[in-house]
Amino acid sequence: MGSLGTYGEQVCIGGSFVLTSWGELAAQAASFDEDFLVADVNPDYGGPLDHPLAPEVFDRPLVGWNALVQGLSETIDQMGFTQAAVLVDGTLGSSAVATLATDALGPTNVHALLVTGANDRLDASARKLVENLRLPVRELPMAALSPDLALAADLAKAHLAALAREEGAMPLSNLDKTAMALETMPGMLAPAGLAPLGDVYRSTVLDLVHTRNTISPVISRDSCRAFEVPAIPGVEECGPTPEQRLGFVDYVLASHIEWARALSDIADIEGHPQVVSAILDRLATCQPGRMSCCLVIVMSTCTLDDAPWPLGMAWRDRPRTKAERADKLMGSAVSLGEDVDDAIAKCSSSETEASARRELPRRHARSLRRSAIPSRTCVGSSTSCETCLSRAGLPPTSQRAAAEGTARAAAPAVAECLATAPTGAPSRRTENALPLGAWYARLERTF
């Protein structure tokens, strides 16, 4: 069953289907539309069906664009608005948001604030876009704001908020997920309203725009190329073109946020460990700035809010080699303590106890041969490992062999320990012998 509609920030697109137990598609409902589906399938029938359906071809950018259109339309309606205000400056993000709002609400319900003066080619592209979309426009020259581009951008956001308040519309931000992750620094002016692309990476926005242009080419080529790669040290080495460098940055972000991969794992796959480290450092640095960002429409399995970085973190991860991360030497000896506890719990007689005492060290000796675990100082005692082995009943020659640090030398020591270990009822144990559980625990910690 696939739900249809927008629930909070989640967008559901429908598309329910019936699949037989042998893997054929028996029925499928429409996506992005309400549908009533009835299908009769006999689970005892082994197939094949007389008329199986062919699954629809999944076009990810087209489905993504339609999901954003549905989510934006229903989210604005749920928030009590019928109109939206957008800032158009000819860049990729502003062109995508303006087109998305027009598809979702209709051109008469979208008010455009046209910001000009930064670039003649982008100014022409922005004017052409609002003309193609047939939007009501209010022009705002940047020269009238400030010669400082950063200050002019902040003032343009304030003018957008004023236009939205005047028209009773919801202001839409042009931020995408890449910008919210790496470009929303603490202290920046927080955007108001709703960010339709706030959970979509910039490289995906580029794919969405290309797909939308196949329906009707409203966004110019200059606007499609008008995007910035986040200013990360060394990112120029990650690809010859801006699209490839942007793809690298977005892949690192998706690997860490959606797929929960560690820094070293990402560097092993993609290379450029210093660039990967710089990207994740910037992601952590921007965490306080993201706390004041606007709402987003959820389009991924994990949003930036779902994967927060703890505030006040005093350390940063670094790329580590495989040798540093491979802690395999400890892995195969960990299970001995659990085996001992289980065996002791099942011991209801001295005969069963003696049987467990004979079996478990043999299993431990075989584990040592396979794992080649070097010996180390016993962490559970202030004395040396040889002393621990002595207390366990090993003679001096076996103590030295066990302390040499290899499984080949340690295995005979364990075997000899089996022969010298106390046997029989507890009253017959030697003076230096430990209780059964403690003796096994010390033997395990020795290796």
Distance of CA 155 to the CA centre of its chain: 34
Residue 250's SS3 state is: helix
Q: Which of 38-47, 149-158, 321-330, 412-421 has the lowest mean pLDDT?
A: 412-421
Give the mean pLDDT of 306-311. 65
Helix intervals (H) in 303-384: 322-325, 335-346, 350-371
What confidence score (pLDDT) does residue 329 get? 42
What confidence score (pLDDT) does residue 408 get? 45
Helix 407-420 / helix 350-371 crossing angle, nearest 10 deg = 170
The pLDDT of residue 261 is above 90: no
Buried b / exposed e across 21-35, counting CB within 10 Å, b at 16+?
eeeebbbbbebeeee
**Gap between the Cα atoms of 351 and 208, Å rounded:** 73
Q: Which of 30-34, 327-331, 402-406 has the lowest mean pLDDT?
A: 402-406
What confidence score (pLDDT) does residue 88 get? 94
Give the mean pLDDT of 258-270. 86
105 closest CA partner among 142, 63, 134? 134
Give the mean pLDDT of 190-203. 88
**Gap between the Cα atoms of 46 and 39, Å rounded:** 16
92 closest CA partner among 149, 175, 9? 175
pLDDT 10s digits, 414-439: 444 444 444 443 433 444 444 555 55
Task: Report the 10 Å Cβ neighbour count for 420.
Answer: 14
pLDDT 10s digits, 358-378: 554 544 444 443 443 333 334
**Which residue type is seen at 212?**
R
At 356, give phi and psi (nearest 5°): -65, -35
436 closest CA partner among 333, 346, 369? 346
Give the C-alpha distances (Å, rounded to integers) separating 355 from 141, 177, 336, 445. 89, 62, 16, 22
5 closest CA partner among 65, 101, 105, 74? 74
What confidence score (pLDDT) does residue 168 get? 92
Dihedral-angle region of residue 31 (phi above 0 means left; psi in -120 to 50 means alpha; beta otherwise): beta
**Gap between the Cα atoms of 106 and 102, Å rounded:** 5
390 closest CA partner among 416, 369, 372? 416
Q: For the chain, how long is the longest CA-to-CA vector?
A: 99
**Residue 14 — very low, low, confident or very high, per pLDDT cuts 50/70/90?**
low
Residue 170's SS3 state is: strand
All residues at 6 or more sequence positions from 429 whose CB lies less than 8 Å from its CB, including other chains: 422
The pLDDT of residue 382 is above 70: no
Cβ–Cβ under 8 Å, residues 249 and 230: yes
Of 149-153, 187-191, 440-444, where does the model show the most confidence? Answer: 149-153
32 closest CA partner among 3, 60, 7? 3
Helix intervals (H) in 238-329: 242-257, 263-270, 273-285, 287-290, 322-325
Query: In the Cβ-directed half-sphere of 442, how many Cα atoms lie within 13 Å?
Result: 22
**Which residue type is seen at 108?**
T
Give the mean pLDDT of 164-175. 93
The pLDDT of residue 407 is above 60: no
The pLDDT of residue 444 is above 70: no
Give the mean pLDDT of 194-217. 93
What confidence score (pLDDT) does residue 446 get? 52
pLDDT 10s digits, 64-103: 898 899 889 888 988 889 999 999 999 999 999 999 999 9
- DSSP secondary structure letters along 179-233: HHHHT--TTSPPPPSEETTTTS-HHHHHHHHHHHHHH---S-HHHHT-------T
Task: Report the 10 Å Cβ neighbour count for 224.
Answer: 16
What confidence score (pLDDT) does residue 375 get? 37
> For the chain, what is the radius of gyration of the CA atoms?
33
All residues at 6 or more sequence positions from 348 whose CB lies less than 8 Å from its CB, including other chains: none
